[in-house]
Amino acid sequence: MGHVTYYSQKTLHIEMKGRGSRDITSQIESLVTSSGIDIGMCHVFIQHTSASLMVCENADPDVRVDLETFMSNLIPDGDPMFVHIDEGSDDMPAHIRSVLTQTEVTLPISQSRLELGIWQGVYLWEHRHHAHTRKIVVTIHGQSSK
């Protein structure tokens, strides 16, 4: 039928200044745009266990303020229940936040674009207080009519 199957992979390096979330949709989308894929998948994988990914509402920044408040209340830094404390009072909470959210997300591709809902963005969520450069492996695959 003249279809070609396509796979490609790139690693993004994203600097985070400390705890908080950042929209990385456009950086992912730009990898998708150049692929020429008609139907396919975009897989986003963070190579860390104290930062994570989420698909979240992208209109009102207060949504992510409230998410931060919720997580800080649910998993307080320095909670005396934790025994893994050598790397700081925010380290074990960071691992738990990572486990409760996403290490990887797969997004649909249609016509060389991410097929997201209007109000959806992809966020990197840093859970440590110190600055970190986070590595994200993006793998794209699909079918091109070329």
Of the pair 29, 82, the CB lying nearest a copy of itself is at: 82
Of the pair 14, 116, the CB lying nearest a copy of itself is at: 116
Of the pair 26, 66, the CB lying nearest a copy of itself is at: 66
Residues in Cβ contact with 100 at an 8 Å cutoff, skipping those fewer than 6 apart: none
The footprint of a copy of itself (CB under 8 A) covers: 3, 5, 7-9, 38-41, 43, 45-50, 54-57, 60, 62-63, 65-67, 69-70, 73-75, 81-84, 86, 92, 95-96, 98-101, 103-108, 110, 115-120, 135, 137, 139, 141-143
Q: How far apart are CA 25 and CA 21, in angstroms?
A: 12
| Minimal distance, residue 54 CB to a copy of itself, in Å | 5
Of the pair 38, 129, the CB lying nearest a copy of itself is at: 38
- DSSP letter string, 107-137: EEEETTEE---TTEEEEEEE-SSS-EEEEEE
Q: How far apart are CA 21 and CA 13, in angstroms?
A: 15
CB 10 within 8 A of CB 136: no
